Structure 1
Amino acid sequence: MPTLDPDILNDIDLLVRGGFEDRDRIVEILTEEMYEPGELDADVVASAVEAAVARHALDQQSWPAVTDCDRLDAVFSSLEGKGLIALQFAGHTQSDGFDDVSEVYQDHPDRAAVIGYCFYHSQDLERAVRGEGLYLAFGSMDASETSTGGAQVGALIAAELRAAGFEVRWNGSVDQRIFVPSIDWKRR
């Protein structure tokens, strides 16, 4: 059976460890989106994905009961309860993330209660999985309050992250994304 290029195996590992895509979706991403249809043998990719999923499941046996990802999930849930649209794995770029926030906002049953947003996208996720920290985009939903309202939203997010035990690097400005430099990405 043919083998895959190490870069493709790395892509598979990142997608599996990221924890947001299932086996079939990972195969689809690789064989139809990241590479041209027909460029990769879907059966070979599926076998490599199965092996990565099995390694990931084995690794989980040594993980702590509560991981950084569990704590991050709790932060995002808390932010939603405080009036933010909080999205994990929102698109591939910041622009995609803003589009996802806008879509959720448009469908929100009580838009007046939404004060802001917080998200990270797939490129941010890839960096976090590689151990390079996690960047969070944020802002106010009220365009007329971009500076003050955005900074207040950022302060709320930073406080929630710190309360969950994360180190936070942020200068207090809406012009800088919030950075969590040390996150051990272990998503079940």
Structure 2
Amino acid sequence: MLALLPGCGVSEEKPPVKLEPEKRRLFKTPELKEKSSVDMGKQLDAELLREIDWHVRAGFYDKSDLMRIICEEIFYEREDIDEALVSKAIDSQFATLEEKKKTWPAVTDCDRLDSVFAALNKRGIIALQNAGNTQSDGFEDSLYELEEHPDPASVVGYCFYHSQDLERVVGGYGLYLAFGPTGQSKGKEIGNIVREELQKAGLKVEWDGTTNQRLIVRDLVWQRR
């Protein structure tokens, strides 16, 4: 029988770590200025524009994903959504992001993070990025990956962050990573491996060394290609 053992941060009712105040890199809500066949007398509100902005900058979604997420998931109850204007805003944000990419360093913090997750998977830890919307989702995704793994006996643990963690790090906060063991491994052992790989990649990580707290990657500049 395959099973993941509860590690840090699986319960939704009692999050293991409070989000400590940090100096946040605030971003401006994008404005639509370009005229087109769309009725530009209409404007998208700040909340909707903010959702488009961070989802685009997250780097995990394409245009069709974002149209579905914005119009059919987040704001599905609103009857005033102008899909043509949403489409225009998404295109504008993607264009802005492409221009910003030209100024990014050859190796970004997100490139380093990708290398960490690849290294963890090689070491027998199921490591997932943007795994669901909640910690329970991430745990379930990890369990699914374990069940589908070609050699489940080689898996010693799991590590993930979910979309709420992603939204925070895109907005300038630290990235929280949940982790835990499988089989006979120990939660602390998995935490130590994750911390080791993060530090090897040159990322700043904080952790109290227990399974009561998720690891936190500090000062991570989110630039995902």
TM-score band, normalised by the shorter chain? over 0.9
**Among 180, 187, 190, which residue is 1:150 paired with?**
187
1:168 is the counterpart of 2:205? yes
Aligned residues: 184
Q: CA deviation at 1:141?
A: 1.4
Cα offset, 1:51, TM superposition: 0.3
1: CA distance, partners of 2:140 / 2:96: 34
The ranges of structure 1 where at least 4 consecutive aligned residues each deviate by more than 4 angstroms after the TM superposition are: none
The letter for the 2-side match of 1:33 is E
**Match of residue 118 from structure 1:** 159
Report the RMSD for the aligned CA atoms in angstroms.
Answer: 1.0
**Would you say 1:47 and 2:84 are equivalent positions?**
no
**Separation in 1, partners of 2:166, 2:203:** 16
What 5-or-longer segments of structure 2 have no aligned partner? 1-38
Partner of 2:19: none
Tell me what 1:36 maps to. 76
Q: Which structure would you say has the larger Rg?
A: 2
SS in structure 2 of the partner of residue 168 of structure 1: strand
Structure 1 unaligned blocks of 5 or more = none
Q: What displacement does 1:181 show? A: 1.5
More RCO (CA 8 Å, sep 6+): 2
1:45-67 per-position Cα deviation (integer Å, ceiling 9, x unaligned)? 11000000000000000000100
TM-score, reference length from structure 1: 0.95
Deviation by residue 1:61-101 (Cα, 9 ceiling, x = unmatched): 00001000000000000000000100000000000000100
Q: For 1:73, which of 109, 114, 124 is the aligned residue?
A: 114
Alpha-carbon contact 1:88-1:121 (below 8 Å) kept: yes
- Structure number having the greater helix percentage: 1
**Equivalence map 1:96-115=2 (5 Å):** 96-115=137-156
Q: TM-score, structure 2 length as denominator?
A: 0.80
